[in-house]
Amino acid sequence: MTAPTRVPVRTRTSADLIRAEEPVLAHNYHPLPVVVARAEGTWVEDVEGRRYLDMLAGYSALNFGHRHPALVEAAHAQLDRLTLTSRAFHNDRLAEFAERLAQLTGQDMVLPMNTGAEAVESGIKVARKWAYDVKGVPADRATIVVAADNFHGRTTTIVSFSTDETARSGFGPFTPGFRVVPYNDLAALEAAVDETTAAVLIEPIQGEAGVVVPDEGYLTGVRELTHREGCLFIADEIQSGLGRTGRTLAVDHEGVVPDVLLLGKALGGGIVPVSAVVGRRDVLGVLRPGEHGSTFGGNPLAAAVGTAVVELLETGEFQRRAAELGTVLRDGLADLVGKGVVGFRSRGLWAGVDIDPALGTGREISQGLLGEGVLAKDTHGSTIRLAPPLTITEAELVSALGALARVLGRG
Ligand SMILES: *Cc1c(COP(=O)(O)O)cnc(C)c1O
């Protein structure tokens, strides 16, 4: 018997790995040229050991930073006990997750799913069912009113009501039953809602569109209009929710309570995909056994991590940090207006920054930031999205703003 010889792992550089992806990985993304190998808190490290400050935070899936100790501990403990049962059986983690998430969001019931797009799809199904069973809309006539420049995910039904040609083109035929109105326009919304309307589905702040914050009073107006017209208000808080804007939910800034909330991204703590439809009992209660489901939805690992996420949010610490550091971000960006920044929108630790197109595309600016050790991502054209982990320190935030100033100064 000879001892097994260890086959040496050929060390592949970042450049090797980027080259290796090209022939084997679908080209549906165009990542910035950095290959991340490990991360902790607000920092990631690439294959060569270079460190970067993460100012994107997985599009807000990493609100608590990379590998938050409480979340990693909850995941480890659950991995050692039970990971999956399917909903054919009960599991001992799901009740607490649902109770605490409902309590945190001021709602009654929870429908657990996995990805954001699934939460949106589930919300659409619930709204349609509610329209037929409760509102009395004639069969197959229900409509849902949505906003232009929305981003709700990538399924065939969801891209059916996207106004982004890149997201839609080539993927028809499209699902009927949606009406698109301009965002932040209550008169247009009012004109589109009629007796067939099951729901108004909007993002309280449009993330992918460039962190577009509606006028004060818009969300209140949507709430009043949907009450008056007898249709549901569904708020997609998948990116805006769970502390990002300085409150638990973006709708909290206007004290508005929608009938249905869609949550995702940060709900999984950056560890597992966890999403949920959260709503009133008379709305989510329309679903009967067999009418909707998901093999992985509500699995014990997801429920354990999701509960730990809710626990972090129950302290209010992250909402407070986002609000306080949000003023540092806003003031720092205000200083850059006229120095390469033509305008910006921000709420909490979330900003869409419009760069002077003469200085380069959003992607070129993001590449410049990469060179400065900062990870960020363009949304459209010359707009950069900044959404650091809510655990970022003031000094780190100031250093990221300094890096942006240097990149713009070179432009
Ligand atoms: C990311 C996102 C989604 C889709 O979530 P996935 O997990 O990528 O399917 C839906 N709505 C909003 C507002 C989002 O930001």
Are both 91 and 172 inside the same structural domain? Answer: yes
Are both 209 and 157 inside the same structural domain? Answer: yes
User: Does residue 253 belong to any structural domain of this protein?
Assistant: yes
Token pair for residue 43? Answer: 């920092």
Residue 411, pLDDT score:
67
State the CATH number of the domain containing residue 73.
3.40.640.10
User: Does residue 4 belong to any structural domain of this protein?
Assistant: no
Q: Are 93 and 307 in contact (CB under 8 A)?
A: yes
Among 269, 290, 314, the domain-final residue is: 314
pLDDT by residue for the chain (411 residues), tens digit each? 555 566 556 689 999 999 999 999 999 999 999 999 999 999 999 999 999 999 999 999 999 999 999 999 999 999 999 999 999 999 999 999 999 999 999 999 999 999 999 999 999 999 999 999 999 999 999 999 999 999 999 999 999 999 999 999 999 999 999 999 999 999 999 999 999 999 999 999 999 999 999 999 999 999 999 999 999 999 999 999 999 999 999 999 999 999 999 999 999 999 999 999 999 999 999 999 999 999 999 999 999 999 999 999 999 999 999 999 999 999 999 999 999 999 999 999 999 999 999 999 999 999 999 999 999 999 888 999 999 999 999 999 999 999 999 999 986
120 lines ligand 1 (CB under 6 A): yes
CA of 11 to the centre of ligand 1 (A): 35
Residue 410, pLDDT score:
83
Residue 7, pLDDT score:
54
How far apart are alpha carbons 287 and 132 in whole angstroms?
Answer: 12
User: Does residue 1 belong to any structural domain of this protein?
Assistant: no
CA of 116 to the centre of ligand 1 (A): 4
Among 271, 290, 314, the domain-final residue is: 314
Among 294, 314, 334, the domain-final residue is: 314
In this structure, the number of other CB atoms found within 10 A of the CB of residue 372 comes to 18
How far apart are alpha carbons 169 and 340 in whole angstroms?
Answer: 33
Domain that holds residue 134: 69-314
151 lines ligand 1 (CB under 6 A): yes
In this structure, the number of other CB atoms found within 10 A of the CB of residue 6 comes to 6
Residue 1, pLDDT score:
52
Q: Edge-to-edge strand order for the sheet containing 36-40?
A: 36-40, 43-46, 51-54, 374-375
User: Does residue 3 belong to any structural domain of this protein?
Assistant: no
User: Does residue 186 belong to any structural domain of this protein?
Assistant: yes
User: What letters, b where the CB count within 10 A reaches 16 and e where it falls short, cover 15-47?
Assistant: eeeeeeeeeeeeeeeeeeebbeeebebbbbebb
CA of 262 to the centre of ligand 1 (A): 9
Token pair for residue 209? Answer: 């569109």
Are both 38 and 152 inside the same structural domain? Answer: no
CA of 288 to the centre of ligand 1 (A): 26
Stretch (H or E) spanning 147 = strand 143-147
Token pair for residue 384? Answer: 């950069």
Instruction: Give the residue whose CA is nearest to atom 8 of ligand 1.
Output: 116
Are both 80 and 50 inside the same structural domain? Answer: no
The DSSP symbol for 264 reads -
Are both 98 and 245 inside the same structural domain? Answer: yes
User: Does residue 124 belong to any structural domain of this protein?
Assistant: yes
Are both 276 and 348 inside the same structural domain? Answer: no
User: Does residue 340 belong to any structural domain of this protein?
Assistant: yes
Number of domains in the chain: 2
Are both 45 and 143 inside the same structural domain? Answer: no
Active site residues: 151, 236, 265
Are both 17 and 142 inside the same structural domain? Answer: no
How far apart are alpha carbons 67 and 381 in whole angstroms?
Answer: 32
Are both 18 and 120 inside the same structural domain? Answer: no
User: What letters, b where the CB count within 10 A reaches 16 and e where it falls short, cover 314-352?
Assistant: eeeebbebbbebbeebbebbeebeeebbbebbbbbbbbb
State the CATH number of the domain containing residue 404.
3.90.1150.10
Instruction: Give the residue whose CA is nearest to atom 15 of ligand 1.
Output: 239
In this structure, the number of other CB atoms found within 10 A of the CB of residue 108 comes to 15
How far apart are alpha carbons 174 and 97 in whole angstroms?
Answer: 35
Are both 218 and 342 inside the same structural domain? Answer: no
236 lines ligand 1 (CB under 6 A): yes
Q: Beta strands of 301-373 (E only): which ranges?
A: 341-346, 351-355
CA triplet 339, 353, 57: central angle to 5 degrees?
130
Q: Beta strands of 7-73 (E only): which ranges?
A: 36-40, 43-46, 51-54
Q: Which of 115, 265, 296 to mutate to test the pocket of ligand 1 (most atoms within 8 A of CB)?
A: 265
Residue 147, pLDDT score:
99
User: Which residue's entry shows tokens 């028809």?
Assistant: 172
Are both 108 and 48 inside the same structural domain? Answer: no
116 lines ligand 1 (CB under 6 A): yes
pTM exceeds 0.95 for this model: yes
Ligand 1 atom having least distance to the Cα of 262: 11
Are both 132 and 48 inside the same structural domain? Answer: no
Beta bridge partners of 377: 385
264 lines ligand 1 (CB under 6 A): yes
Ligand 1 atom having least distance to the Cα of 154: 9
How far apart are alpha carbons 51 and 53 in whole angstroms?
Answer: 7
User: Does residue 121 belong to any structural domain of this protein?
Assistant: yes
